[in-house]
Amino acid sequence: MNFKRIISSFVLYPLLIPLIFKSNVYLLFSFLLLVVLISFKEISGLFEFSKEFFLAGALVIVLVFSLCFVFSMPPFFSFFLFLFCFFILSIPDFDPALFFKKYLPFWFAPFYIFLGFYPLLYFIKIGERASLFYLLTVVFAGDTGAYFSGKLFGRHALCPKLSPKKTWEGFWGGIFLAVLVSMFLSSLLHLFSETEALALGIVLAISGALGDLFESALKRAVGKKDAGALIPGHGGLLDRIDGIMFAAPVFWGIIKLWKL
């Protein structure tokens, strides 16, 4: 067992509760923006962006998130703004090989960050703090369930080429705990019906697992073990919230599509 990971989780998670439910909207937005920038710094480290690239990307991220928060800028316009700004930077020294190696990762990184974090901004903006808390807790539950069941019962590798330590036993354990927490929180916070909570628990657990595997694929592609070393026992911040960055857009899409 990784006791540093366990201790970090028990210390950090309770701090989220008063932050989500008691802080004013500007403090919550500022905290989200800080998380976004740390995540972008870590993914910049994975791709080894230059200082100029990191500063340019961070500036655009702050601008886009601020516009979305203050003026409710539509997400599709944000996507265009990312592409527009980063393509302009590639024009002066355009070269096909350089564009593929240098500018596509530079465009992908903040785009990935925005897709993963915009849903959290959306829930903050409309005041759906219970939904925000539900989303984070269910995804964390899936990750925790996968970790402990994998450690205790793991025998069969899930994706050995991507992440040799992940097992099918851990995958099913993550779904099991995510469903339990989803149904409990949904009832406590009066969010969804039992059937909806059951389905959402499964979907969020699977989405979170895919997000974890996706970050593992990124790290293997660039030859890195962790995105950073910010959180003891976890690695970087991205190593802890990679599941949220896949689960949040899925949850947001379900909420918008079915108006739950």
Signed CA dihedral, 232, 17, 146, 158: sign only: negative
Distance CA 243, CA 188 (A): 24
Instruction: Express each pLDDT in 22-52 by its tens digit.
Output: 999 999 999 999 999 999 998 888 888 888 8
Give the separation between CA 66 and CA 60, rounded to whole angstroms: 10
**Better pLDDT: 14 or 192:** 192
Q: What is the pLDDT of residue 72?
A: 77
Which of 88-97, 118-127, 168-177, 205-214 shows the lowest mean pLDDT across its residues?
88-97
pLDDT at 3: 43
Would you say 228 and 236 are in contact if contact means Cβ atoms under 8 Å apart?
A: yes
Separation of first and last alpha carbons in the chain: 38
CA distance 233 to 52: 31
Residue with tokens 């703004």: 81
Beta strands in the chain (DSSP E): 157-159, 163-167
Per-residue pLDDT at 152 exceeds 70? yes
Closest CA to 241 of 192, 217, 194, 207: 207
Q: Which of 208, 238, 212 is nearest to 35 (CA)?
A: 238
Q: Could you give the CA distance from residue 128 to residue 126 in angstroms, rounded to a whole number?
A: 6
Q: At what angle do helices 25-47 and 237-258 cross, to 10 degrees?
A: 120
Average pLDDT, the chain: 84
Residues 6+ apart with CB under 8 A from 29: 69, 121, 124
Q: Is the pTM of this model over 0.85?
A: yes
SS3 163: strand
Please tell me the predicted confidence (pLDDT) of residue 75: 65
Annotated domain spans of the chain: 3-258
Helices 194-222 and 129-153: crossing angle, nearest 10°? 70
pLDDT, mean of residues 195-223: 91
According to the model, what pLDDT value does residue 9 have?
56
Taking 70 as the threshold, does the pLDDT of residue 7 lie above it? no
- DSSP secondary-structure letter at 74? -
Indicate whether 83 pLDDT > 80: no
**Residue 2 pLDDT grade (very low, low, confident, very high; cuts 50, 70, 90):** very low
